[in-house]
Structures are given as structure tokens and as C-alpha cells.
Amino acid sequence: MTRILLIRHGENNYTQTGKLAGWIKGVHLNEMGRVQVTTLAENLATYPINYVYSSPLVRALETARPIAASKKLTVRKCYQVGEVRYGQWQGKSLKVLRKTKLWNQIQNRPAISSFPDGESIRYAQIRAVGAIEKIVGRHPKGCIVLVSHADVIKLILAHYLGLALDLYQRIVINTASISELDISYNGVKVIRINQTTKVSVTK
């Protein structure tokens, strides 16, 4: 059995202000994000983690590295669990995007939707689930941390829950949250979704 801990990166200025960071370079964790990551690493100290994989984006790597360091492991970059390619939507405010004609379709019919000059939501799910299957094939036993992004984690969970792609937005994934899958030859169990620990920044 492979135990997979799906972790969303910590808070950054884009998540805080409601913008789509996408693949913009140099989006680092903010102060709260760094506190979240420290708490995450502490909470995972008792877990028998064997490998740490991460999206190649800096906010994900900054989340993965303290977890890996606490276990004396190296972070392995996995481009297949990188953020959704939002195309023209990248960097824009959700408040602005909600006013576009495409917004309702992406929210309610994502199975047939693509981002302008970006990728389709269906393709993003296929590549992310493909990454999980490769990792499980590579490590049929063990505990794996995989740091990724909200939409990507929601797409992975929707697949293993047996949800239609059009329903994936019903899943909520907060920053620095943990969702867990147990995958074996006998099937898949979704153990938890969006577990978070309250943290505060001391001024």
C-alpha cells in the first residue's frame, strides 16, 4: 500500500489577495505561509515519510523543503503536478474573472472547458492522476508527501472519489492543508480531505 499525503502549498500574496498565480515565477510564501509550513513540518514529524515530491513552482518547493529536511530527504520535482496552465487568466483577480462569460462554464461545466491560451481542465486532471499512478508504481509501499496546488489536488481527489469532473469544484482545498489517499492493488481509500491546523503570526 502507498500512503500519499497531498499537501497544498502555504499562503502567498496571490492566495491572500484572490489572484491566480499560475506559473508566474517568483511567487514566494508570505509570512503566514512560512508559519504554516513550519507547523506542517512539525505535525508530520511522526509520519514515516519515505519520499517528498513537489510541483516545480517556488511556493510549492518552499513548502516541501522543510518537510523533507525534517526527514533528511531530498525534494523530487514533479512537473505533472504543477499548477493548472491558466493562460490569459494567469495573474488576474478572481473578482474580475467572475465577470467574464467563461467563468460560469468553467465553474459548472469544467469537463468541457479550457482556459484561454491555457490547458483544458480535463487534461490537467489526466496529467495529475498520471503522476500519482507513476509514483505509486515506483513506490508500491511507503508514505509519500506530494506538494501541489488547490485545483490540481481537487482534480486528483475527484478522480479517486469517483466524482464527475463537472463536480470537482465542490471540493475545498485550503493553503497548507493535508488530504490523504491509501492506494493498493485492492483499490483506493480517501482517508481525509483538507485537514488544516490553525496557526497565527506573532507580531
- For residue 16, what pLDDT is reported? 94
Ranges of the chain with pLDDT below 50: none
- For residue 63, what pLDDT is reported? 98
| Residue 200 cell numbers, joined | 497565527
- For residue 198, what pLDDT is reported? 77
pLDDT tens digits, residue range 135-182? Answer: 999 999 999 999 999 999 999 999 999 999 999 999 999 999 999 999
**Rounded to an integer, what distance in angstroms lies between the CA atom of residue 99 and that of residue 92?**
12
| Residue 148 cell numbers, joined | 501541489
Cell 518552499 locates to 62
Contacts of 122 (CB under 8 A, 6+ apart): 110, 111, 112, 165
Q: Which of 96, 166, 97, 82 is nearest to 130 (CA)?
A: 82
Q: Domains along the chain?
A: 2-195 (3.40.50.1240)
What are residue 7's DSSP bridge partners?
Answer: 147, 178
| Residue 102 cell numbers, joined | 467563461
- For residue 30, what pLDDT is reported? 97
Answering whether pTM is above 0.75, one says yes
**Rounded to an integer, what distance in angstroms lies between the CA atom of residue 22 and that of residue 89?**
8
**Rounded to an integer, what distance in angstroms lies between the CA atom of residue 201 and that of residue 203?**
6
Average pLDDT, the chain: 96
- For residue 201, what pLDDT is reported? 60
- For residue 197, what pLDDT is reported? 84
Q: Beta strands of 14-140 (E only): which ranges?
A: 49-54, 75-77
